[in-house]
Amino acid sequence: MDDKATRRDACHFYTVSDLAARWKVSERHVRRLLADGALVAHGFGQSKRFSESDVLCFEQASKQIRSRPGDE
């Protein structure tokens, strides 16, 4: 298999700390979103990781909720 194809097909995963920095929120808030079921995590040993596709879906859904007409 081509090395470039392998890198392109690889899924990127974020840590709790990565998402907190990305969204400018506390790590506790990210953990709360996970506990509430708003985020999906994948377990790697005792740590949790969030796939890029799940993060993008969450961000898209959050944008739609915040931009609903009549919520002003």
Q: Give residue-wise pLDDT tens across range 6-52.
A: 455 568 999 999 999 999 999 999 999 999 999 999 998 889 999 99
* Distance between CA atoms of residues 42 and 13, nearest Å: 9
Q: What angle do CA 18, 24, 29 make, to 5 degrees?
A: 80
Q: Is 16 part of any domain?
A: yes
Are residues 39 and 30 in contact, defined by beta-carbon separation less than 8 angstroms? Answer: yes
Q: Is 34 part of any domain?
A: yes
Q: Is 2 part of any domain?
A: no
State pTM to two decimals.
0.73
Task: Report the domain count for the chain.
Answer: 1
Q: Is 71 part of any domain?
A: no
**Structural domain boundaries enclosing 32:** 11-66
